[in-house]
Amino acid sequence: MISILQISIPCPLRFNFDYLSDQSLTHWQAGLRVRVSFGSRELIGIVISCKEIDDTVDTSKLKPILECLDQQPIIPADLLSLTHWLSDYYHHPLGDCFQTVLPKKIRHGEALDLQMETVWKSSQKQLKIKIGKKQQQILDLLTENNDGVVQSELYLQLGQCRSSLISLEEKQLIEQFQQIKKPSITHSMSTPCQLNQEQQLAVNTVWDSYENFTPYLLQGITGSGKTEVYIELAEKAVKEGKQVLILIPEIGLTTQFVTRFRQRLAVNIVVLNSSISDGERKQSWLLAKEGLADVIIGTRSAVFTPLKDIGLIIIDEEHDASYKQQDGLRYHARNVALIRAKRAHIPIVLGSATPSLESLYHVEQKRFQRLELNKRATGATLPKIHLIDSAGPKADNGVSSILYKAIQKQLDADNQVLLFINRRGFAPVLMCHECNWQATCSHCDAKMIVHQGRNTLCCHHCGLIQRLPSQCPQCQAPNLNTYGAGTEQIELSLQRYFPDTPVLRIDRDSTQRVNAFADIVADIRKGGAKILVGTQMLAKGHDFHDVTLVGVLDADQGLLSADFRATENLAQLIIQVTGRSGRGEKPGEVFIQTSQPQHEFWRDLIKQGYNYSANKLLEERKLIAMPPAAYLTIIRAEDKQEQLAMQFLTDVHALLTQHQQEVIVMGPVPAIMEKRAGRFRAQLLLTCSQRKPIHQLLDHSINAISSLKLSRKVRWSIDIDPLDLM
């Protein structure tokens, strides 16, 4: 008998490919990896389905499978069906979905064996001979640790001691064996704190729905002890023999967060973030799959970790935009996690001090249950917020003199100060006063940003770098002026103003080196840096006890932006940065510099708080029929040739509106920044009060869209539930 297999191939085409196998059906299962020839290349595909055929079927055009790589499917059934769901929901080619779901080494066909490591163990023999000092140290350590000590750990504690180990082994005083390599378990545990009433209620409520799908929104003000709640819940689930998946946003947060878990739970905790190697990723993936990892902590893509026995999912800072992938498969990890929890019949906890309007809407619709933590766990009070009119007196470079005085006061008291400005570089504008020339990017509709330290102009959209001109390139006037200020300039001004105080800048430029961020955070905690100037990177989650003043220098961007989520994001940012101040014993204060201190946004947020502002925004969204009260999809297109993207989307528009009116199709319009990285961009917006009609429309039209002549020429993509419309 001959079988035909449907294989998902890593390519942008929206269908699977048929291949022949001379093995019977019983040999084949969905989720096996196979090597096949595809065009002129050999690729690794995934078996999706198979059927047996008889001799009457013409198979002359089909190619054979070259090799089957696995005995058992590499993807557990639940993950396989989740990948199908991804492909359906996000209208993204299945083969490409596997590229996101599977770690690189697995995709590239590596075997599924776990890495092993050497462990040394004392053989408990009486010591009758005299041994050297190093050997004695080893023996002492191994006698203390009955189960043995991993070789790399021995080297870490005692230095390289291979020859001593061998000689002890020859004397039969110690022996070695191999075990599966796992992350080490901390021995210096911290004592758990007694949960307060609110925390205990949260833990109990979630635990009551253990083994049921129930989504919870854990809304707790910054410092209210959400992390303690996660730890307690994780501990309970692990005790039941379950695995816990914890998602955290994609910034330097991991170390601090993981350390707290490691110090509290003596279990196998694996970490999946962007800084681990492909080898580590594969090992962690396998440990999770085999049920050998108890707690999995990771950023966005960790939501695809295979789990043998999942008991609980936690998403920290659920409002964070980094949970949405902005290219390729544009999934939202919160969304995917909800689907996983639902299918696995387990509770899912979404934690935040500033929940997304999506989650608040779900609470309102009774789809999520809200749990509240309203007090700071340490008893610290929330800081007072002051608005400063940016039109008022300035000391230097756009920093108000009121703010300078307030900073001085905190420095005199030996406290730390945190200043936010969401713009990297020295200045966003370079121009000539004589002829009005401005430094703009030749590939984008954007200005070049001045980076003085590196003596360059840099485009933050396409990465183009040029030397900083010393005179006007157009009229050769000798002086060019900069306008506006970024982190680099604020850092310099502050350093000039407070010459004896260490100033530290934290942005993407100053943290490029691996671990740079972790080092900086360590330095801040030690109190080495007194003034910290940074972008939003610093706003999230960090617990710096000596920070008593937080300043926000460019709060207006959020009030002026064309993006419909800008005010929501500004409210979240302000509350998050407010949470960075006064976390220790000393009370904190917050200064916000704005050109619109009278704006009702500020009055609402400061006087009435986040919930009030968020509810008001939610009512607005309902009125204008925008998410979460309605559903959006964007079809984007871009091409080097002007007008082609617009032309393609005009054709798509015609297709989409041919037979229906339920889904409103708006556009196409050029993107707000039409030209980026040398391509002209345009977009089409689909909206509907229901989710389903959009998906049905896309299901119906996708093949026709893919067959449009221009669809092979322009780059295009579908963004379901887009986060920004720009």
Judging by DSSP bridges, how do beta strands 41-53 and 33-38 pair with one another?
A: antiparallel
256 binds ligand ADP (CB under 6 A): no
Counting contacts by CB under 5 A, is residue 461 touching Zn ion?
A: yes
At closest approach, how far in Å is the CB of 192 from ligand ADP?
Answer: 9
Using a 10 angstrom Cβ sphere, with 0-12 exposed, 13-18 middle and 19 or more buried, the burial of residue 327 is exposed
Q: How far apart are CA 709 and CA 713, in angstroms?
A: 7
Check binding of 460 to Zn ion (CB under 5 A): no
Scanning 466-511, the segments in alpha helix (DSSP H) are: 487-497
Exactly one of 9, 36, 102, 195 binds ligand ADP (CB under 6 A); which one?
195
459 lines the binding site for Zn ion (CB under 5 A) = yes
| ∠ Cα 13 108 72 (to 5°) | 95
Residue 676 or 695 with smaller CB distance to Zn ion: 676
CB of 543 to ligand ADP, least distance (A): 6
**Contacts with Zn ion in 405-444 (CB under 5 A)?**
432, 434-435, 437, 441, 443-444
Q: Are the C-beta atoms of 524 and 411 separated by less than 8 Å?
A: no
Could you tell which of Zn ion, ligand ADP, none binds residue 199, using a CB distance below 5 to 8 A set by kind?
ligand ADP
Peptide bond connecting 478 to the previous residue in cis, omega within 30 degrees of 0: no
Nearer to Zn ion, 168 or 432 (CB): 432
DSSP state, residue 438 = B
268 alpha-carbon distance from chain centroid: 22
Question: What are residue 717's DSSP bridge partners?
Answer: 636
CA-to-CA separations, 150 to 142, 279, 335, in angstroms, rounded: 10, 19, 40
Binding span for ligand ADP by CB under 6 A among 32-40, 153-161, 215-223, 674-682: 215-223
Q: Report, in Å, the least distance between residue 526 CB and ligand ADP.
A: 17
Within 473-492, which residues bind Zn ion (CB under 5 A)?
Answer: 474-475, 477
Half-sphere exposure (CA, 13 Å, Cβ side) for 401?
5
Q: Should residue 462 be labelled a site residue for Zn ion when binding is judged by CB under 5 A?
A: yes
Tell me: does residue 402 bind Zn ion (CB under 5 A).
no
Is 458 near Zn ion (CB under 5 A)? no
Quote the least distance from Cβ 177 to ligand ADP, whole Å: 39
Tokens of residue 102, six digits: 């599977």
**Tokens read off for 385:** 């917020």
User: Given the complex with ligand ADP, which of 73 and 609 has the nearer CB atom?
Assistant: 609
Candidates 219, 227, 268, 283: give the one binding ligand ADP (CB under 6 A): 227
Using CB under 6 A as the binding rule, the residues of this chain from 374 to 403 that contact ligand ADP are: 377-378
User: Among residue numbers 44 through 83, which ones bind ligand ADP (CB under 6 A)?
Assistant: none
Taking the complex as a whole, the smallest distance from the CB of residue 440 to Zn ion amounts, in Å, to 9
β-pairing verdict for 116-122 and 149-150: antiparallel
For the chain, the residue count is: 726
DSSP per residue, 56-120: TS--TTPPBP-EE--SS-SS-HHHHHHHHHHHHHTT--HHHHHHHHS-HHHHTT---PPPEEEEE
Asked whether position 148 contacts ligand ADP by CB under 6 A, the answer is no
Rounded to the nearest whole angstrom, what is the least distance from the CB of residue 224 to ligand ADP in the complex?
4
Among the listed residues 103, 220, 558, 627, the single contact to ligand ADP using CB under 6 A = 220
Residues in region 543-562 near ligand ADP by CB under 6 A: 543
The interface partner of residue 630, options being ligand ADP, Zn ion, none and the CB cut-off 5 to 8 Å by kind, is none
Place of tokens 């749990």: 371
Does 465 interact with Zn ion (rule: CB under 5 A)? no
Show the tokens assigned to 668. 């196409």
| Contact of residue 459 among Zn ion, ligand ADP, none (CB under 5-8 Å per partner type) | Zn ion
- Eight-state DSSP code of residue 53: E
Q: 68 — alpha (psi -120 to 50), left (phi > 0) or beta?
A: beta
**Ranges within 484-543 binding ligand ADP (CB under 6 A):** 543
576 binds ligand ADP (CB under 6 A): no
Stretch that binds ligand ADP, among 219-227, 299-307, 506-514, 525-533 (CB under 6 A): 219-227
Which listed option, Zn ion, ligand ADP, none, makes contact with residue 378 (CB within 5 to 8 Å by class)? Answer: ligand ADP
Lookup: tokens for 234: 């994780």
Give bridge partners of residue 688 from the DSSP assignment. Answer: 631
On the CB side of 403, CA atoms within 13 Å amount to 33
193 or 677: CB nearest ligand ADP: 193
Give the binding site for Zn ion (CB under 5 A). Answer: 432, 434-435, 437, 441, 443-444, 459, 461-462, 464, 472, 474-475, 477
Give the binding site for ligand ADP (CB under 6 A). Answer: 193-196, 199, 220, 222-228, 377-378, 543
